[in-house]
Every structure is written in C-alpha cells, then in structure tokens.
Amino acid sequence: MIPVLDKKHIVLGVTGSIACYKALDLASKLTQGGALVDVVMTQSATRFVTPLAFGGITHQPVVIDLFDPQSELSVEHVALAERADLLVVAPATANSIAKMALGLADDPLTTTLLATMAPVIVAPAMDGHMYENAAVQENLKKLRDRGVTIVGPDEGYLASGKMGKGRLVETPELMGHIRAILGKDGDLAGSTIVVSAGGTQEPLDPARIITNQSSGKMGYALAEAARDRGARTVLVTAPTSLPDPVAVEVVRVQTALEMRDQVFKATANAQALVMAAAVADYRPRLASPQKLKKDSDSMTLELTRNPDILTETTGPIVKVGFAAESQDLAQNAREKMARKGLDLIVANDITDPESGFGSDSNKVLILGKNGQVEDLPLMPKEAVAHRVLDRVRDLMAAEKG
Ligand code: C5P
C-alpha cells in the first residue's frame, strides 16, 4: 500500500495506441498501491487491449460506451468525473489530445475530462513525426496552459521501428507524478525538507574509491514519502543505482566534502534535514592524480577525518540522524544524538539480518531528544520513512509555534 494512493479515485483514460499494454501495468501498480481505478477506454483502445484485461486488474467495471445501460456514466454521465481525485490519460494519442484541446465530448473519456474539476495528467504516445507536428504541439501547449500536467513522451524505439520522441513514459515515472499531484496539499505542504542518501565515495586515484555498503534505499524512500506529503524535497545523494525520484530536486555528489557543501546550500532555506547518507568518516589525505602502481608488497594509506555534516549544520532546523550500530544500539544512538545536536535519531542494528544493508525493509528504534523511544517492528523502508516524517512534522510544528 502507498499511503498517498490509498482509496483515491483515479480515472485512467486509455486511448488507442500500441502503448496501451503499458497502461495495464500502470492500472496494476495503482491498484496495488490502494487506489480505486476506473478505466475509461476509447473504442480504438479496445482494439489493442480488451476491457476484460483492465477489469481483471482493477476489479471495477471498465467504461467503453457512453450509452451503455450498465455504465455509471449512463446513470449520471458526470459521476466518474465528480468522484475522481485525479484523471490520467495514458497513453494519449494525437487524436485524443486534439479532442481535449478543442473541448469535444463525443465519448466517455472526453466527456469525463470536460466534466471534472480534478487535476489531469496526460502522457502522450505517438509516432515521432506526429508528435513534432505543429498541430499536436499547439494542442499540448493549450492543455499545459490550462493546467494539465503533460508527462513525456520519452525518446527511444518507436512502434514504427524508428528511433524518435513519442514513447509513452514508463510506469515509475507516471507513478511519481501521480503521487506528487495527489500529495501536494499533504501534511508537509509549505515546508522544505532536505534528505541525504547513499554512501559517499572518497577517491584514492582516478580508478579507485573508498566507499561503503549503503544502497541509498532508506534516503530515497524518505525523499519520496516527503514529496508524497507535499514537502518541497531536496535529495542530496551520493552515487546509487536507484532512479531519480520524480518531483524531487536531486543534487548529485560523490564525496563527503561535496555532500557537506550541497547540504549547507540546501538547508539555508529548509525546515528539516534528514541525514540518511552513510558519510565516509575519513578520506585519503591525497587523491593521486595518476593510477597508483602495485610496485611494493604492502602500502599504507593516510586518511584524514571528514567533517561531520550534521554537527556543522546549525540554525533553526529540525535535524535527524541515522545510527547504524553493531552493539549497545540505544545507548550509542543517544550519545550520537547529543554529540551532534539532533532532535531525532533513527537507530538500526546492522548485525540483525533483517536490517542489513540493501534490504527493502528495516527494523529501527526512533529516539527523540526528550527521551521518547519508538521501537518499531520490521517494516518496509517506505513505512519507516513515514514514521520518521510523522515525528519531523510534529517537530517542525513545535519549532514554528
Ligand atoms: O557518527 P556516525 O557516522 O555513526 O553518525 C551517523 C549519522 O551522522 C548519519 O545520520 C550520517 O548521515 C551523519 N554523518 C554526517 N557527517 C559525517 C558522518 C555522518 O552528517 N561525516
């Protein structure tokens, strides 16, 4: 379940493009996330994918005919439009985009689009030359000017066999936009939250680095959760294999020193800093400009201490640290919280296989500076992120008041 999607009514408009198959995946991810998905298909879309396929995924009737006596639209043709929290047209063909721009209402989808007050996302999918056509570009501009969010299209392989711009964006990107729009008035709206993630890399020479096992998953989950709750979110991230979260300001860094500079910059206008990054405590004193040669049997590396970013961040800001410990979890975490001047510390035992590096779940203690302790069971990192942000929200409110 994804909290921002839970029980939200989403109308998924599917129009006649070969990319319809991707809309099945989107319908599935939305439904799994807890959304109630009403699929409205154009006649040509039903030639590519059957309504049965969508109905099987969403467990809701699929609307294809304006005059179908079984359809809710025939009872009250604006019913779907009224209960929708969001409308997503994916894939959107040149034809359906033109109808939207003109305000036509000759099928269930365009009727619903005209009747709704909810936000609308349109994800175009078409041949590259069609997309570039002035008529399509003008229509998209019209929609954008009316407040519609246009997502994509991507560049790449097209159904014609050619390369070009016209591919429907992938599901994760659409999910990101949907979550950001649904969450924009959430309980963190109006605040800026800076999150750090990943393991910093400290170069030894042009080929080698010193780094650690952090996957970045906890930090990315925090950034997505903050975005889903309406915060302006800045993610300062060391290299990871994770895709950039949508609607989050991503700042890429490599070393601890770069991370410090970017965290300082971002926190100048922020109300909270959540440091989930695994920052290297030491860096090689000198990074060799040339690749080091193996010309002796042993070598000694001289390391210099990195600055502590959390300690050095000052100002009226809620500071949250993470403590990965292998012994005396709570006591070590509490000492760290005091030493670094933190409001909150999230501690996990790295010897516990359930809380290991790279896993999708985590088992943590959340300790507050006033002595409160929350001992959370094993849960997905997304759920941990929300529990941390609940506390951050309360701390930010206390700081304000
Ligand atoms: O002292 P330790 O590295 O265990 O503290 C972990 C916490 O401090 C994490 O939140 C980490 O992001 C942060 N940290 C920091 N600057 C460092 C090292 C760690 O802000 N140089």
CATH number at residue 50: 3.40.50.1950
User: 340 C-alpha vs ligand 1 centroid, how far in Å?
Assistant: 9
User: 326 C-alpha vs ligand 1 centroid, how far in Å?
Assistant: 15
pLDDT band with cut points at 50, 70 and 90 for residue 71:
low
The count of structural domains within the chain is 2
CB of residue 317 inside a 6 A radius of ligand 1: no
CATH number at residue 361: 3.40.50.10300
Question: What is the C-alpha to C-alpha distance for residues 356 and 338, in angstroms, rounded to an integer?
Answer: 25
Residue 3 lies in a domain: no
- Mean pLDDT to the nearest integer, 269-291: 96
Is residue 73 over pLDDT 60?
no
Residue 379 lies in a domain: yes
Residue 2 lies in a domain: no
pLDDT band with cut points at 50, 70 and 90 for residue 74:
low
Per-residue pLDDT reduced to its tens digit, 7-20 = 999 999 999 999 99
CB of residue 310 inside a 6 A radius of ligand 1: yes
Same domain, yes or no: 138 and 245: no
Residue 273 lies in a domain: yes
Tell me the backbone φ, ψ of residue 307, rounded to 5 degrees.
Answer: -70, 155
Single residue among 160, 182, 204 that ends a domain in this structure: 182
| pLDDT, mean over the chain | 94
- Mean pLDDT to the nearest integer, 207-218: 95
Q: Which of 143-152, 156-165, 188-197, 333-342 has the lowest mean pLDDT?
A: 156-165
Range of the domain at 63: 9-182
- Mean pLDDT to the nearest integer, 219-239: 98
Residue 187 lies in a domain: no
Same domain, yes or no: 103 and 240: no
Catalytic center residues: 212
Q: Could you tell me if 35 and 10 are in contact, meaning their C-beta atoms sit under 8 angstroms apart?
A: yes
Query: What is the pLDDT, as a whole number, of residue 75?
Result: 58
363 class by beta-carbon count within 10 Å (0-12 exposed, 13-18 middle, 19+ buried): middle
Same domain, yes or no: 157 and 248: no
